[in-house]
Amino acid sequence: MLFRHDALAQWTKSSYSAVNGDCVEVRARGHLLVRVRDSKDIARSGLAFTPETWSTFVLDVSERDRPGA
C-alpha cells in the first residue's frame, strides 16, 4: 500500500495530534522522500524516509490500531 504523494505536498499534521499542539507533521518531497518533523521545532529538517519505508510503517501502525490486533 503506497500513499498518494500529492496528498502530502504540504506539511500535514498527524490525525493523532494532541490538543496541546504536540504532534508530528509529514510531507512528501517528490516521489523520492517523505519527511517527518516535530511541529514545535520546524527549523530542524526532521527525519527522511523512502516512500516504501514510510508506507510500510503507516500500514504496520494502522494494523496495530485495529481492535483485537
Chain centroid to Cα 5, Å, comes to 11
Residue 27 grid cell: 510531507
CA distance readout (Å), 20 to 14, 16, 17, 27, 44? 13, 12, 8, 21, 20
For residue 4, what pLDDT is reported? 59
Confidence at 48, pLDDT banded by 50, 70, 90: very high
For residue range 28-42, list pLDDT tens digits in order. Answer: 877 788 889 988 888
Query: What does the alpha-carbon distance between residue 46 and residue 62 come to, in Å, rounded to a whole number?
Result: 22
Query: What does the alpha-carbon distance between residue 12 and residue 36 come to, in Å, rounded to a whole number?
Result: 9
For residue 1, what pLDDT is reported? 44
Confidence at 47, pLDDT banded by 50, 70, 90: very high
Mean predicted confidence (pLDDT) in 42-67: 84
- In this structure, of 2-11, 34-43, 51-60, the range with the lowest mean pLDDT score is 2-11
Report domain extents, the chain. Answer: 5-12+23-64
